[in-house]
Structure 1
Amino acid sequence: MTPIDQVRQDLLARMAQFQQMASQPVSPAQGTAPAGGFVAVLQQAVRAVDRQQHHATRLTTAVDSGQSDDLLGAMLESQKASIQFSALLQVRNKLTGAFDEVMKTPL
């Protein structure tokens, strides 16, 4: 499996996890999502994207400073970080759109 296919599989797995968390009902008596619910999954995804971007930055800096000669690895990690960030933005846009639709719903 190529690294791009691996990233694609990771993103599909995360989106399936988001879909599963979104489909779980919230009890009106609870008032909040269950512990470790959708918010925790979203925070975990944001942290994973942040870690990937920092990792890519470290590798790129190492190549720029001459500490490493793995240009291909640095570029690959940079592309992974870019794809993950783009996917996270798409999730955010979908959530924002869903929130706007809920707010437009007449009572």
Structure 2
Amino acid sequence: MSSIMRAQQDMLERMNQYAELAGGSAIQPAAQLGSGAPVSGIAGSFEQALRSVDAEQHKSSSAMAAVDSGKSDDLVGAMIQSQKASVSFSALLQVRNKLTGAFDEIIRMPL
């Protein structure tokens, strides 16, 4: 077998491996991996918000991938979905920063 054919065979094997990895369910949104029992209180609310933002990020990624691969021609919809994911992530970061600041203030309070 010539070196060119060997290189082509190696590249074909790698492409098949990547196709198997891309088609598999190794990476899933956090909303699909839940334990089933909802947690109440502030922790449950924050976890629910975190899972919602994660689901938005995955929707955005799949919409952009569909446009990039040519499976969809809805560029405007993909961009809107991307902006929704960006805004929800920014809002989550703001909430996290406010909670962290409040926690720091509580820690510094004199007894």
Q: TM-score range by the shorter chain?
A: 0.5 to 0.7
Counterpart code for 2:44? A
The match for 1:54 is: 58
The match for 1:89 is: 93
Q: Distance in 1 between matches of 2:71 and 2:65?
A: 8
Alignment of 1:1-107 (within 5 A): 36-107=40-111
Q: Distance in 2 between matches of 1:95 and 1:80?
A: 23
The match for 1:27 is: none
Report how many residues are paired. Answer: 73
SS of the residue corresponding to residue 59 of structure 2 reads helix
Per-residue deviation, 1:37: 1.2
Taking only the aligned residue pairs, the percentage that are identical comes to: 60
Residues 39-94 of structure 1: per-residue CA shift (max 9 Å, x gap): 11110000000000000000000000111000000000000000000000000000
The match for 1:23 is: none
TM-score by length of 2: 0.64
Per-residue deviation, 1:36: 1.3
Please list every run of 5 or more consecutive structure 1 residues that lacks an aligned counterpart in the other structure.
1-34
Q: Distance in 1 between matches of 2:71 and 2:50?
A: 29
Runs (4+) of structure 1 moved beyond 6 Å? none
Please list every run of 5 or more consecutive structure 2 residues that lacks an aligned counterpart in the other structure.
1-38
TM-score by length of 1: 0.67
**Bigger radius of gyration:** 2
Q: Distance in 2 between matches of 1:100 and 1:40?
A: 21
Q: Which has the higher contact order (CA 8 A, sep 6+)?
A: 1
